Amino acid sequence: MPRVVPVLFSSGEGVPATGWLDLPAPFSLLLVAPDPGPPPPPRVLVPAGRSPLGALNDATALVEATHLVLLSPGSDPAAHLPALRRLGEKHPWQEPGRVALVEDGVLLAEREGLLAVGGLPEEATSWEQAIETTRQRILELSASDSRREDRHGRTGSVYPAQHPVFLSGCLIVKDEERFIEQCLRSILPVVDEVVVYDTGSTDRTREIAKELGALVVEGYWDDDFARARNAAVRRCGGEWVLWLDADEVLVCEDPRELRSLLQRTKPEIDAWSVEIENLTGAGVGAGFSHRAARLFRRGRCRWVGKLHEQLIRTKGRPEIAQALLETAFLRHYGYTDRMLAERNKAERNLRVAEADARAADGPFRSTALVSLARSQHLAGDVDRALSTLEEALGEADMTPTLRRLALRTGANTLIHEHRFAEAEAWIERLAAACTSPVQVLRLRADLALAKEHWQEALDCLDALGPTAVDEDGERLSFAMLAPLRAKALSGLQRWSEAADQLLEVLRSEGTLDTHLGELLACLERAGRSADEVAPAIPPEKAELFMAQVRQLDPPHGDLVLEALWTKGRIPPVKVLATAGLVAAELPVERALVWSTRIRQAGYPEACPLRALVRAPHRGVADRAAALGVLARLQDPIAGDLALELADELPMACYPLVVSQLAALAPSLVTHFPTPGPEPLPPRAFSLVVPCQDDASLLSGLLASVTRSTPPGALEVVLVDRGSTDATAQVQDTPDGLVRALHRPRETSLLDAWLAGAAAARNPVVLVVDPDFLATPNWLAPLYRAFEDPTVGLVAPLLLDVDGTVWSAGCHWVEPEPPEDDAEGDEPSPARLEPRGAGRPGRDPDLAEFGPPDAPAPAAFACRRDLLLGAAEALRDDRPAEDDTVPGPLAALARLADHLRAAGSALAFAPEAVLLRAARDPRLDRRRAGLPPTEDESTTPVAGSDGETSDAQQGADEPALARA
């Protein structure tokens, strides 16, 4: 027979115990230990205001026996000894499993099993209901919970001599299926039970929690965090409660040490203050950290505050006695850009914070006001946030810590809004409230960076040192401060030092609190290789960093991926998954390299060449070349892709496709039938091509002209404006069909047109930029247009790289009328815009556009004598009709006005098609007469906002990208 130790409950001061079985009522619990020996004296517990079930839960958390026998109040334990013996015979005490067995009114439960389900339900209206509910919960636990085996190093069901304190993990949730599993798995090695209070999930949150062995309480949400948290804590059975949110994980390297620390905690300590590392931005940086009481004694603490709730003592003074926990910390994902966007917290938090501030009084009012101000700032109402902070600072009972938080919040808000003078005033107020200079120096550094006072920012950061801790325990880590130093060093153009700062924090901390593109830009400007990045990226954060690689412009993304492939620590499948998406934006040659690797890994469906063929924004030549390579690789869907491409592209693009397929996949050429060029009289046109460092584009234009133009129909006049590439070596051909004019680099586009027209020998000048390609019979429609002697200027149809209309000539667009009739508002001028932009190239309505108001500067045809005769009007500094029209477009607008005044007509020839070879922002700005921007040549990040849409991040990714 096992040893039975009674535990008594009494509503009085104590219970006399005359013998271990001679016990008065109410008797509620027997503790059963499997080892023989004389019975120890009974333990007497006084409920102290707790309900009988609540007191019973307290007892189960405190005792050390391995099994519990629960009896109805007032029952005689001696009368149940036979039943206990029968239970012991049928189910040996050492091996009872986790099943509760009921016989003759006796409930036998493994202690750990009872605690794992949170003890007896206090809300039960009867003892029998409590027993039955507990029995069902333990049965469910035994069927699903395999994680608890050997939790404390047991042999069978015997605990070690000194059992650790009982610890509950607790959280409230709603629709957290994305995070709940990683959250619970992070605490399972540490806690004895998990209680999840669900406030109305509609996804799989509850199911996932139950599968992991948590007790799931179906609660409700009423815009009150404190009420929900307190309701969850009441279901916990542990002496200690570890609180965390679903978007947090516990980082604890030694769970045994943490539990031992709780066992050694001094009695006067109510809670442990836990560091919370808040990830921000893309989630790969250090973000910011703060401390909060998250590990507390259940019986001593409760939550207050509807929003930004906090722990206070249940009785007595509100402040809890805390110690700093150093053995573990929490990592919080809720402040990352993506999570803030997905959850749209601003509206909810503002509503709850306003209600909380209205209801709060006394010592809690200042806390509620600071929370409200933070919510107002998050919602974009800066002035109200500052006003609320001032109101909070006027509260007499505001704690010094909260005062410093309020002043920091105000200063940060003003810096973010670039209200620098006001920010300086708030920083001075903070300095007067601080006993440590840490936060003041940090804010002064932030302010200097915002004002681009780089050396001042660097001086403040140097004064902080590699790390710093303020008087409230908030730590500014090296991972947080290094990116700020890098930004200051970059502003001072100390690129290599800036790169070293970022690389060091990436190597040592595995974080990068700035975009990966910033690091690459520093390395590039310092003349260093992107290969240095690859070994520093931690494998455990592969997916987060891979998302940033996808945000780089494709060439830089390719460099990083190649380095990761050869020198990095990221699993190859992760590198290939990202490469499958990035390589579709690369030249065909590089896409082929990654395609080969991906196919060898067994993921042909993720082939970037397939994606390239289907990418409507890629150039027709690139798409056709990728199709040809796929055919050479014997891709089974190459034929289907050819049919898709032929159906999508305008027929004017077919010759370009055929030229790419002829050598690679001649069998696919039949899908793209092309007519031969129509005959034209000799010397009908002079093609004038203004060039500046356009060797590769120029060769493509000339090749397309040769293929699509009858012999002798035109001559080519190249006007080179100081090129430094192979364009400068272009010379006149012996047959005179190509003539080269070399002009200084500062020659304007207008002067290049006129110089080419002056050198031309034929009656019609056709001006075409080098990034366009001629299509079959492109000249015949132009020739027919000029057969009308009244036509002096003709606009061809220009298609974009994807086959849509880039320009069908330009027209004047009148501005929208103003919304109000305010006096003194000058009407906006009309503006010239391309006609038909973005419409499909096969659109039959293009022919109905009629004559344009002006042609596009990229390509137009004009009678040579009229163009030269309008030279003076073209050079007029006064733009035609609209002084907002830039450069070449203004010149063509003046040319059109001049010709109309002289009686010459403008025409549109939609059958004369030129195809844009590639998108190049540099060429677009040049056409508009604007200088190139620095970003076009130096910034490796593709976008300005650093975001990746859901579609990019997984909704339509191939299988490999999800591997």
**944 pLDDT exceeds 50?**
no
Report the distance separating Cα 517 and Cα 513, nearest Å: 12
Report the distance separating Cα 567 and Cα 354, nearest Å: 53
Show which of 304, 327, 343 is a domain's final residue: 343
The proportion of the chain whose per-residue pLDDT surpasses 90, expressed as a percent, equals 33
**232 pLDDT exceeds 70?**
yes
Give residue-wise pLDDT tens across range 107-130: 667 666 676 666 777 667 666 677
pLDDT value of residue 960: 47
Structure tokens at 743: 């002009």
Structure tokens at 535: 């070994």
Higher pLDDT, 739 or 65: 739
pLDDT band for position 732 (cuts 50, 70, 90) = confident
**625 pLDDT exceeds 60?**
yes
pLDDT value of residue 363: 63
Give which of 536, 526, 530 is closest to 495, Cα–Cα: 526
Q: Is 717 exposed, middle or buried (0-12, 13-18, 19+ CB in 10 A)?
A: buried
Residue 523 falls inside a structural domain: no
**610 pLDDT exceeds 80?**
yes
Residue 378 falls inside a structural domain: yes
Show which of 510, 529, 545 is a domain's final residue: 510
What separation, in Å, do the N-terminal and C-terminal C-alpha atoms of the chain show? 56
Structure tokens at 9: 């409950």
Give residue-wise pLDDT tens across range 63-101: 555 667 776 655 665 666 655 555 555 444 444 445 455
Give which of 521, 593, 519, 582 is closest to 555, Cα–Cα: 582
Q: Which of 3-12, 102-111, 283-292, 885-894 has the lowest mean pLDDT?
A: 3-12
Region for residue 65 given its phi and psi (left: phi exceeds 0; alpha: psi -120 to 50; beta: otherwise): beta
- Let me know whether 421 and 457 are in one domain: no
Report the distance separating Cα 166 and Cα 237, nearest Å: 8
Give residue-wise pLDDT tens across range 20-64: 333 333 334 554 444 334 444 444 444 445 566 666 666 666 555
Range of the domain at 461: 452-510
Mean pLDDT of the 220-234 span: 87
Contact 917, 697 (CB under 8 A): yes
Other C-beta atoms within 10 Å of 391: how many? 17
Mean pLDDT of the 784-809 span: 90
Beta-carbon-side half-sphere exposure of residue 288 (alpha carbons within 13 Å): 7
- Let me know whether 337 and 359 are in one domain: no
- Let me know whether 136 and 280 are in one domain: no
**886 pLDDT exceeds 60?**
no
Structure tokens at 312: 């206070």
Region for residue 404 given its phi and psi (left: phi exceeds 0; alpha: psi -120 to 50; beta: otherwise): alpha
pTM of the entire predicted model: 0.54
- Let me know whether 98 and 188 are in one domain: no
- Let me know whether 302 and 201 are in one domain: yes
pLDDT band for position 951 (cuts 50, 70, 90) = very low
Other C-beta atoms within 10 Å of 151: how many? 16
Give residue-wise pLDDT tens across range 740-770: 999 999 898 889 999 999 999 999 999 999 9
What 3-state class would DSSP assign to 537? coil
pLDDT value of residue 360: 61
Contact 61, 37 (CB under 8 A): no
- Let me know whether 134 and 179 are in one domain: no
**410 pLDDT exceeds 50?**
yes
Mean pLDDT of the 221-230 span: 86
Residue 959 falls inside a structural domain: no
Report the distance separating Cα 521 and Cα 436, nearest Å: 36
**375 pLDDT exceeds 60?**
yes
pLDDT value of residue 784: 93
- Let me know whether 200 and 115 are in one domain: no
Give residue-wise pLDDT tens across range 495-528: 999 999 999 988 888 878 788 888 999 999 999 9
Q: Phi/psi of residue 465, each to 5°?
A: 85, -175
Residue 26 is which amino acid?
P
The owner of tokens 């965390």 is 244
pLDDT value of residue 712: 86
Contact 591, 584 (CB under 8 A): yes
Contact 70, 114 (CB under 8 A): no
* Residues 6 or more apart in contact with residue 650 via CB below 8 angstroms: 799, 803, 840, 841, 842, 913
- Let me know whether 772 and 903 are in one domain: yes
- Let me know whether 219 and 252 are in one domain: yes
pLDDT band for position 358 (cuts 50, 70, 90) = low
pLDDT band for position 494 (cuts 50, 70, 90) = very high
pLDDT value of residue 878: 47
As a whole number of angstroms, the longest Cα–Cα distance in the chain is: 128
pLDDT value of residue 926: 46
Give which of 551, 554, 472, 544 is closest to 513, Cα–Cα: 544
**DSSP one-letter code for 331:** E
Show which of 489, 510, 531 is a domain's final residue: 510
**213 pLDDT exceeds 50?**
yes
Residue 119 falls inside a structural domain: yes
169-189: string of b/e by CB count within 10 Å (b at 16+)? bbbbbbbbbbbbbebbebbbe
Contact 952, 550 (CB under 8 A): yes
Residue 105 falls inside a structural domain: yes
Q: Rounded to 5 degrees, what angle do the CA atoms 3, 8, 9 make?
A: 155
Report the distance separating Cα 490 and Cα 526, nearest Å: 10
Contact 212, 147 (CB under 8 A): yes
Contact 141, 192 (CB under 8 A): no
Report the distance separating Cα 655 and Cα 930, nearest Å: 33
Give residue-wise pLDDT tens across range 439-454: 999 999 999 999 999 9
- Let me know whether 287 and 309 are in one domain: yes
Q: What is the CATH number of the domain that holds 706?
A: 3.90.550.10
Contact 825, 818 (CB under 8 A): yes
Contact 776, 912 (CB under 8 A): no
* Residues 6 or more apart in contact with residue 395 via CB below 8 angstroms: 365, 366, 369
Give which of 753, 758, 740 is closest to 695, Cα–Cα: 740
pLDDT value of residue 963: 37
Q: Which of 154-163, 221-230, 698-707, 891-900 has the lowest mean pLDDT?
A: 154-163
Give residue-wise pLDDT tens across range 278-302: 776 544 444 556 778 899 998 889 8
pLDDT band for position 350 (cuts 50, 70, 90) = low
Number of domains observed in the structure of the chain: 5
Give residue-wise pLDDT tens across range 522-534: 999 999 998 999 8
For 529, 552, 579, 580, 946, the CA distances from 558, given in Å and listed in that order, are: 13, 9, 8, 11, 18
Residue 545 falls inside a structural domain: no
- Let me know whether 336 and 350 are in one domain: no
Report the distance separating Cα 539 and Cα 213, nearest Å: 29
Residue 415 is which amino acid?
I
Contact 522, 498 (CB under 8 A): yes
Give residue-wise pLDDT tens across range 250-287: 999 888 889 889 988 988 899 998 988 877 654 444 45
Contact 733, 655 (CB under 8 A): no
**824 pLDDT exceeds 60?**
no
pLDDT value of residue 793: 96
Higher pLDDT, 732 or 330: 330
Q: Tell me whether the omega of the peptide bond preceding residue 817 falls within 30 degrees of 0, making it cis.
A: no
Structure tokens at 935: 């970003």
Residue 395 falls inside a structural domain: yes
Contact 382, 413 (CB under 8 A): yes
Report the distance separating Cα 363 and Cα 392, nearest Å: 11
Structure tokens at 566: 């050869």
**329 pLDDT exceeds 70?**
yes
In three-state form (DSSP H/G/I as H, E/B as E, the rest C), the secondary structure along 358-424 is HHCCHHHHHHHHHHHHHHHHHCCCHHHHHHHHHHHHCCCCCCHHHHHHHHHHHHHHHHHCCCHHHHH
Report the distance separating Cα 685 and Cα 900, nearest Å: 22
Give residue-wise pLDDT tens across range 650-699: 877 887 788 789 888 999 999 998 776 778 888 889 999 999 988 888 88
The proportion of the chain whose per-residue pLDDT surpasses 70, expressed as a percent, equals 71
Give which of 551, 668, 573, 682 is closest to 613, Cα–Cα: 668
Other C-beta atoms within 10 Å of 257: how many? 11
The DSSP result for 568-631, as a single string, is: --S-HHHHHHHHHHHGGGS-HHHHHHHHHHHHHTT-GGG-HHHHHHT-TTS-HHHHHHHHHHHH
Give residue-wise pLDDT tens across range 831-866: 888 888 888 766 667 767 889 999 999 999 999 999
Average pLDDT, the chain: 78
**903 pLDDT exceeds 80?**
yes
**871 pLDDT exceeds 60?**
yes
Residue 597 falls inside a structural domain: no
- Let me know whether 246 and 138 are in one domain: no
pLDDT value of residue 51: 62
The DSSP result for 56-116, as a single string, is: HHHHHHH---SEEEE--TT--GGGGHHHHHHHHHHS-TT--TT--EEETTEEEEEHHHHHH
Q: Tell me whether the omega of the peptide bond preceding residue 26 falls within 30 degrees of 0, making it cis.
A: yes
Q: Tell me the torsion sign for CA atoms 372, 373, 378, 384.
A: positive
Q: Phi/psi of residue 168, each to 5°?
A: -105, 140
